[in-house]
Structure 1
Amino acid sequence: SKLTRTRSGNFLLANAFEVADLVQYIRSKKEEATNS
């Protein structure tokens, strides 16, 4: 597939997933603070 063709593409894809995880983590922390 096009996603696995280049290392730079894989690197950017991995970064995108890491950023998404970080955003989810921050959102969950904000929700905890709001709920409590």
Structure 2
Amino acid sequence: MPNRQRQAEIHDADISRALRLGVPGIRRVLRDFKKRVRA
């Protein structure tokens, strides 16, 4: 089971989506991740 304390980290779904999309997808995921961390 995923550790709830690790919720702030990039999720597996984000990683797999980024891998499918390639570098542009990784950039988008990182941007979304930074927004999530700031929120």
- 1:1-36 deviations in Å (ceiling 9; x for gaps): 44214100000001111000011xxxxxxxxxxxxx
Report the Cα distance in structure 2 between the residues aligned to 1:4 and 1:14, rounded to whole angstroms: 12
**Number of the residue aligned with 2:31:** 15
Q: Does 1:3 align with 2:18?
A: yes
Q: Which segments of structure 1 move beyond 4 Å, counting only runs of 4 or more?
A: none
Give the number of aligned pairs: 23
Identity %, equivalent residues = 17
Higher helix proportion, which one? 1
Larger radius of gyration: 1
Structure 1 gap segments, 5+ residues each: 24-36
Larger RCO, structure (CA 8 Å, separation 6 or more): 2
